[in-house]
Amino acid sequence: MPDLIELDDVRKTHPMGEREVHALAGVSLRVARGDYLAVMGASGSGKTTLLHLIGCLDRPTSGSVSLDGTDLARLGDDELSSLRNRRIGFVFQAFHLIPQLSVAENVELPLIYQGVSRAQRAERVQRVLSSVGLGGRSEHRPSELSGGECQRAAIARALVAEPDLLLADEPTGNLDSRTGDEIMEILVGLHQRGVTIVLVTHDPGRAKRAQRLIEMRDGCIARESVS
């Protein structure tokens, strides 16, 4: 069985006037199904670029990125969009909840895009909201929630499509330490249930909760360790 994620000599450059900026400079990485990988590094080290390539939000300049044995370069934009919606869940620092929608309606969106029936959507939304401790807040709007509750809602939205992979980019960055600890406990619980997680963080304490840690520097993997 192939690794869930395979990157081979991946490079990503951005034109900046007459020169090029190397966001990634030859990264090779394997993430097995069921892994919990933390990615650390200074701003500009390539962490978020790496996450975007794994999550099919961007394409490499050269090298290959594969998900479960599928070379993503072979997929068109519509195919990549479908793959993201079916197989990858995203959690961001800024939550990205739609303010006009209730919590349940926000969480339901990926299922609407998949064409899941109304009855199935309702059952899955309530189940995943209960799993993150928001069972009683489904009809509230984001403005009526605390920051921690908004992040729980964002995690529920990422999980409702039952993805193979959860990508979390600084998910505790906008939260106080106690609430951040609660979010990290949710991620640990998801990993224990078999969800593959790639976490980007600046916090060494958060990173230690993962099985593996890579440190990025100047677009390269500078160090890798196992917890």
pLDDT tens-digit map of 71-121: 998 899 999 888 888 899 999 888 899 999 999 999 999 999 889 999 999
In a domain, 212, yes or no: yes
In a domain, 74, yes or no: no
Between the CA of residue 112 and those of 149, 167, 191, what are the distances in Å? 23, 21, 26
In a domain, 20, yes or no: no
- Per DSSP, helices labelled H in 67-197 are 77-87, 103-114, 118-131, 147-159, 177-192
In a domain, 115, yes or no: yes
Number of domains in the chain: 1
In a domain, 1, yes or no: no
Indicate if the pLDDT at residue 212 is higher than 90: yes
In a domain, 202, yes or no: yes
- Residue 112: CATH number of its domain: 3.40.50.300
pLDDT tens-digit map of 5-46: 999 999 999 887 778 888 999 999 999 999 999 999 998 899
For residue 189, count other CB atoms closer than 10 A to its CB. Answer: 12
Give me the domain span that covers residue 159.
Answer: 34-60+85-226
Closest CA to 94 of 33, 171, 42: 171
In a domain, 71, yes or no: no
Strands 212-217 and 36-41: parallel
Measured distance CA(129)–CA(93) in Å, rounded: 19
Give the percent of the chain with pLDDT over 90.
70
Contact status, residue 215 vs residue 50, Cβ threshold 8 Å: no
In a domain, 76, yes or no: no
Measured distance CA(71)–CA(34) in Å, rounded: 20
From the CA atom positions of the chain, what is the Rg in Å? 18
φ and ψ at residue 114, rounded to 5 degrees = -85, -10
